[in-house]
Structure 1
Amino acid sequence: MPGFRSRLLAVALLLVAVVGAACGDGGDDRVAESTGVAESTGIVEEPGVAESTGIVEEPGVAESTGIVEEPEVAEPERPQRIVSLSPTATEMLFAIGAGEQVVAVEEFSNYPPGAPVTDLSGWNPNVEAVLSYEPDLVVISNDANDLVAGLNAAGVALHLSPAPMNLEAWYGTFAELGIATGRVDEAADLVARLRREISAALEAAPDAPVRVYHEIDQTYFSASSASFIGAVYSAMGATNIADQADGDGSGYPQLTEEYIVEADPELIVITDQVSYTAADLAARPGWGEVAAVRNGNIVTVNADIASRWGPRLPRFIAAIAEALQSVVEPVS
């Protein structure tokens, strides 16, 4: 069966593409637990033994040709009614070609345009509301309001896709979602493309370490290297000033003005969803001597791309890599 054979090959290639880069350095990859192939049909039975002759018969061998026939294996059904309760998952689903299978997404899934946005909540999900869309697969990033228990009780399949801890684990999230949605080939192609784009973006980052402060809001919450976005800064060779303040490894420590000024970041990153601008930040009392403020190295990035671990991540890396390079080699 060429279709099944090509599917198994695609699964193998996808997993190799995801975990291959980490095999040499012990990376923290997230590997899909199964390929979606039913155990009862994917096992080749032991060859039969003819009692009268004692001769072992070769399974599936045509006497006239000597060609071994492949076992009859049914491919798993592709889910047709997917509900996404995560903006990141929504982006990923459409990126791997599963958009036509998505019937509903939660209220903050504003990308890509045309996604079937509803009033469903991913932060405070209601099981009955989710089930009203008659899903055969629900994709979530976390379990809230006993959502998992409710879906299990209703017999609805679910796929948990939490925030990865690093880039290698990030590639794995696409692999897992591709298998869960029956989009193995598309996920494999996307992972390969993302690897190329991110590799190019990382190469554009300077070799010299740059002190970076990623400000989430005006109360000075930041992202340390224990978070996914912080791990991206680490991959670019930056020095994250929030790391020393993240004693419990939460990934999102709250800093103080005094701490930030003393740490003297050379690059400050804010998002376009805060209520202030780079100019407002530069005008803060006492911040005038901070290197990033003094040299005009304050960058505003798209908040959705920076806060999600979706397929638009290469854009964020490219923008930060360019900003880091401008710190090391300022334009005169």
Structure 2
Amino acid sequence: MRRRGKIERYKLASVVILALLLVTTSFSCGCLKSDEGAWMKVTDDLGRNVTIPHKPERIVSLAPSVTEILFAIGAGDRVVGVDEISNYPPEVAEIEKVGSYARISTEKVVDLNPDLVVGAYGNGIETIEKISDLGIPVVGLNPRTLDEILDSINLLGEVTGCEENATRLTNEMKVRIDRVKNASKKAAHRPRVLYVIWHDPLYTAGNGTFEDEMISIAGGKNLAADLPGYSIMTLETVIDRDPEVIITTSGGGMGVKEANISYEYILSEERFADLTAVREGRVYVIDADIACRPGPRIVDALEEIFRFIHPELCEGEEQ
């Protein structure tokens, strides 16, 4: 696992600790030390050095994946603001909104008086730096693999003081990932898989994306593995490579629920009529909120992708 978010903790000088011990009692818990004056430094995914002065009590999330992580590790009760796309868990609906994912309102963020903001690469470095320049600690995430998603969860566990919960969660996720890895090894054939993020133009997930990694772990061969990141694939290339399985996402992946428009396009496009996946009825839809958010529910997506690619290995399992 790639080491990231390297954390350095600086304790008070021993003389100060001794002085404090004269006027207060010590205590311990499963959370990050929050003694007055204690602090930590974090190097985030954007290469920024961020100082966290104390255990955060008012957190603003700028991305739906971040929101899901914070709630999953037990820091949800300290979240005072989220982006408009955040829709899970359900209680997020009652939290103050600070703008859309790509158009965050700095003014609304500041009005909430946060002591920690957590954003993502998609928010834009300008937005993150603008908030940071106001003296508010901002941690930016940009996970591109399953291991990096686990790292992101553990990092937020560190900076929120919920290390134990984060470790427990990531360990559970690892078990589920390994279960799919072991199951897919039993496959006699690795079918060609096309993962459609959007249809017009046809965007797919290529090399260096966690979607590409999930297809591989689930026992498939990604038709776009030779393309960088999220790339456009021409209809001619799709026809030439003839996918055996096509997986489409519902909506845009950030909470926009459009009625399976990419799925319907694949089935209605006359030039795709002879594709193996179309002829054999192996065109599927996956919830983009689960599959495109680098957070705790990504393992749900992995397991569903495995069922799409190798249903023969899932017979007898509860769906």
Give the superposition deviation at 1:110: 0.5
Query: Which residue is equivalent to 1:85?
Result: 62
Distance across 2 between alignment mates of 1:258 and 1:214? 16
Map 1:282-321 → 2, pairs under 5 A:
282-321=267-306
Distance across 2 between alignment mates of 1:73 and 1:293? 57
Post-superposition Cα deviations, 1:188-207, rounded to whole Å, max 9, x if no partner, equal 11111111122223333335
- SS of 1:197's equivalent in the other structure is helix
Map 1:56-205 → 2, pairs under 5 A:
74=35, 77-115=54-92, 116-142=95-121, 144=124, 146-162=126-142, 164-205=143-184
Which of 228, 235, 247 is the aligned partner of 2:210? 228
- Contact residue 204 and residue 321 of structure 1 kept, 8 A: no
Query: Which residue is equivalent to 1:254?
Result: 232
Query: Which residue is equivalent to 1:212?
Result: 193
- Superposed CA RMSD in Å reads 2.7
Given the two structures, how large is their TM-score scaled by the length of structure 1?
0.74
Query: Which residue is equivalent to 2:220?
Result: 238
The farther-off stretch of 196-205 and 316-325 is 196-205
- The amino acid of 2:295's aligned partner reads G
Map 1:7-22 → 2, pairs under 5 A:
22=1
Distance across 2 between alignment mates of 1:30 and 1:324? 31
Distance across 2 between alignment mates of 1:207 and 1:110? 39
- SS of 2:97's equivalent in the other structure is coil
Tell me: CA distance 1:117–1:293, structure 2 relative to 1, closer, same or farther (3 Å): farther
- The amino acid of 2:274's aligned partner reads E
The farther-off stretch of 276-285 and 228-237 is 276-285
Post-superposition Cα deviations, 1:223-263, rounded to whole Å, max 9, x if no partner, equal 1122222222123342111123x2xx2x1111111110110
Distance across 1 between alignment mates of 2:238 and 2:190? 17
Distance across 1 between alignment mates of 2:157 and 2:303? 26
Tell me: CA distance 1:281–1:150, structure 2 relative to 1, closer, same or farther (3 Å): closer
Distance across 2 between alignment mates of 1:291 and 1:121? 39
- SS of 1:300's equivalent in the other structure is strand
Q: Check if 1:326 corresponds to 2:311.
A: yes
- Contact residue 137 and residue 156 of structure 1 kept, 8 A: yes
If you compute each CA radius of gyration, which structure gives the higher value, 1 or 2?
1
- SS of 1:301's equivalent in the other structure is strand
- The amino acid of 1:78's aligned partner reads K
Distance across 1 between alignment mates of 2:13 and 2:223? 54
Q: Check if 1:31 corresponds to 2:4.
A: yes
- The amino acid of 1:120's aligned partner reads G
Give the superposition deviation at 1:160: 0.9
- The amino acid of 1:195's aligned partner reads K
Post-superposition Cα deviations, 1:47-102, rounded to whole Å, max 9, x if no partner, equal xxxxxxxxxxxxxxxxxxxxxxxxx9946532000000000000000001000110
Give the superposition deviation at 1:124: 1.6
Tell me: CA distance 1:288–1:147, structure 2 relative to 1, closer, same or farther (3 Å): closer
Give the superposition deviation at 1:119: 4.4
- SS of 1:156's equivalent in the other structure is coil
Structure 2 portions without partners, runs of 5+: 16-32, 40-53, 252-257
Given the two structures, how large is their TM-score scaled by the length of structure 2?
0.77
- Name the structure with the higher strand share: 2
Give the superposition deviation at 1:141: 0.2
- Contact residue 81 and residue 98 of structure 2 kept, 8 A: no
- The amino acid of 1:38's aligned partner reads Y
Distance across 2 between alignment mates of 1:132 and 1:139? 16
- SS of 1:225's equivalent in the other structure is coil
Distance across 2 between alignment mates of 1:296 and 1:42? 69
Distance across 2 between alignment mates of 1:293 and 1:307? 23
Give the superposition deviation at 1:287: 1.7
Tell me: CA distance 1:95–1:207, structure 2 relative to 1, closer, same or farther (3 Å): farther
Distance across 2 between alignment mates of 1:145 and 1:200? 37
Query: Which residue is equivalent to 2:29?
Result: none
Distance across 1 between alignment mates of 2:81 and 2:210? 27
Give the superposition deviation at 1:327: 7.3
Structure 1 portions without partners, runs of 5+: 1-21, 23-28, 44-71
Give the superposition deviation at 1:267: 0.5
**Percentage of matched positions with identical amino acids:** 28
Tell me: CA distance 1:129–1:280, structure 2 relative to 1, closer, same or farther (3 Å): closer
Figure out how many residues of one structure are paired with residues of the other and give that number: 270
